[in-house]
């Protein structure tokens, strides 16, 4: 029996790559399954179809044509919803040619569940964050539906309280809630999405059972949530093939090759991570005081715009921003860059610590390569990830785990040089217990995908459940 699974990734090359990675694992694990990815083009992007790989080995791509991208007033979610007619047509055509076993929607594409229901197909969810945060979303939704507790109504004084989350072993501080859970505009969407998650036949989570035992136990014991399959780490370990970036990569890696083992602290804050001039200057002071070698990805924060998120830009003149003489004084021990080949950097023996925004992909990448992290979250669920890594798991040092940048709530906070220096010194401590824990967890992540490993077993269980749920 040959079956087709349809994946609908969120627009954007990052989600596309992680979805492709899990799809490849599925087709490689069972010859009965083929996968088609229905690809919504990135918003405000000119990614050509040549940017995507060719179909091969039971893995196919259905690239939807660009829609109307002229309206800047539409939100990211409404942009996804605008593609429902095209997705519906693609599913209809696939259903005429093959037996479709179900539709797997990205965590931001849950509205496509309506299309699966129209065709009488089971819906599954690919959740690109961790199981503990999925549990927080379910818990907050239950508090709202059953007790009418609306977290977006919290004021600054109430944000000091803690509450129990069933996927954590310790009380969770409200001040570490993601910004959009505290937003009147976004809270209704978060609740609606959590309800839709509950309708899934199963949820693939980009995590590892050994990393989140409390969370996985909660889901296995729960009667009110779908089965959760920890199939991580799902990582895209390939490097970009852009000529310009290849030159920059070579320059950066050549510099790292000249540094002593584990001597360099790497600072990088993801595709949307940038800071104000004052914050950048404060970070420079911290780096110089710490005395550690450093590789620092520096970019300017985007202006606050609630209608769309625009990526950060390069500073035009760093000498005007950084402390006087900083570049000269640190020329022998530091390197400032803009774009960073993060995977290659984390692979380098020279890197001893990673100051990160706590994006989940970056967190898994650092653990995979055994590099300890210092948590400096900025937006999305990163505050939760920081608490999870620092307090729950003891796998990260803290810079400030409840930090909020200005790109979500329209306010800016200053992290002091003293806080940053402390976090850097902690993450670069070669004999720390945290470093030993990170090494042990790194080993567990690698074992998870070996024969008989937890993620390998969970993926096979997911495929078997898909087969048994064929309509």
Residues annotated catalytic, as ranges? 15, 106
CA 7 vs. chain centroid, Å, equals 18
Rounded to 5 degrees, what are φ and ψ at 361? -60, -45
CA distance linking residue 414 with residue 93, whole number of Å: 53
- 3-state class of 173 per DSSP? strand
Q: Indicate the DSSP class of residue 66.
A: P
- Taking the C-alpha atoms of residue 389 and residue 373, their distance in angstroms, rounded to an integer, is 9
Pairwise CA distance, residues 182 & 174, whole Å: 9
| Neighbour order of strands in the sheet with 373-375 | 334-337, 293-297, 264-268, 351-356, 373-375, 396-398
Q: 348 with 308: CB under 8 angstroms?
A: no
Name the phi and psi angles at 447, rounded to 5: -65, -30
Place of tokens 């779908």: 226
Count, residues in the chain: 471
User: Taking a C-beta distance cutoff of 8 angstroms, is the pair 353, 372 a contact?
Assistant: yes
The H or E element spanning position 203 is strand 202-205
Separation between Cα atoms, residue 90 and residue 84, nearest integer Å: 10
Burial annotation 148-184 (CB, 10 A radius, 16+ → b, else e): eeebbebeeeeeeeeeebbbbeeebbbbbbbbbbbbe
Contacts of 211 (CB under 8 A, 6+ apart): 130, 367, 393, 441, 444, 445
Alpha-carbon torsion angle 183, 188, 189, 195, nearest 10: 130
Q: Which two tokens stand for residue 192?
A: 């609606």
Ranges of beta strands (E only) in 92-179 are 100-106, 123-127, 162-163, 172-173
User: How open is the CA angle 410-411-412, to the nearest 5 degrees?
Assistant: 135
Closest by CA to 346, choosing from 420, 262, 232, is: 262
């Amino acid at each position: 029996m040959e079956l087709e699974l349809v994946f609908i990734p969120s627009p954007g090359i990052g989600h596309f790559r992680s979805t492709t990675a899990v799809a490849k694992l599925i087709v490689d694990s069972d010859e009965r399954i083929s996968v088609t990815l229905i690809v919504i083009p990135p918003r405000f992007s000119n990614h050509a179809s040549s940017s995507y790989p060719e179909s091969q080995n039971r893995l196919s791509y259905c690239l939807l044509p660009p829609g109307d991208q002229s309206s800047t007033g539409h939100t990211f979610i409404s942009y996804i919803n605008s593609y429902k007619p095209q997705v519906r047509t693609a599913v209809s055509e696939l259903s005429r040619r093959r037996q479709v076993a179900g539709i797997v929607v990205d965590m931001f594409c849950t509205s496509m569940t309506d299309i699966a229901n129209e065709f009488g197909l089971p819906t599954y969810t690919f959740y690109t964050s961790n199981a503990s945060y999925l549990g927080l979303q379910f818990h907050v939704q239950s508090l709202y539906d059953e007790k009418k507790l609306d977290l977006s109504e919290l004021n600054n004084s109430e944000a000091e309280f803690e509450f129990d989350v069933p996927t954590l072993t310790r009380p969770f501080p409200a001040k570490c809630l993601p910004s959009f859970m505290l937003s009147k505009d976004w809270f209704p969407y978060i609740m609606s999405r959590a309800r839709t998650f509950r309708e899934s036949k199963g949820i693939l989570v980009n995590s590892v059972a050994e990393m989140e035992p409390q969370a996985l136990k909660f889901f296995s014991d729960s009667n009110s949530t779908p089965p959760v399959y920890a199939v991580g780490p799902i990582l895209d370990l390939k490097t970009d093939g852009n000529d310009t970036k290849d030159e920059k990569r070579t320059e950066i890696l050549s510099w790292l090759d000249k540094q002593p083992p584990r001597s360099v602290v790497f600072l990088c804050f993801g595709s949307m991570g940038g800071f104000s001039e004052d914050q950048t200057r404060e970070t420079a002071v911290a780096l110089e005081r710490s005395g550690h070698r450093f590789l620092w990805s520096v970019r300017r924060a985007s202006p606050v715009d609630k209608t769309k998120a625009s990526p950060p830009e390069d500073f035009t003149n760093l000498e005007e921003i950084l402390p006087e003489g900083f570049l000269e004084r640190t020329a022998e021990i530091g390197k400032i860059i803009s774009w960073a080949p993060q995977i290659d950097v984390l692979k380098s023996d020279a890197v001893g610590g990673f100051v990160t925004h706590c994006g989940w992909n970056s967190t898994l990448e650092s653990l995979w390569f055994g590099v300890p992290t210092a948590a400096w979250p900025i937006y999305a669920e990163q505050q939760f990830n920081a608490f999870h890594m620092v307090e729950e798991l003891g796998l990260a040092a803290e810079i400030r785990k409840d930090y909020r940048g200005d790109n979500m709530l329209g306010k800016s906070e200053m992290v002091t040089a003293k806080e940053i220096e402390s976090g850097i010194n902690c993450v670069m401590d070669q004999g720390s217990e945290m470093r030993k824990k990170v090494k042990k967890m790194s080993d567990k992540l690698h074992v998870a995908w070996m024969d008989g490993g937890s993620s390998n077993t969970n993926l096979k269980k997911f495929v078997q459940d898909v087969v048994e749920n064929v309509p």
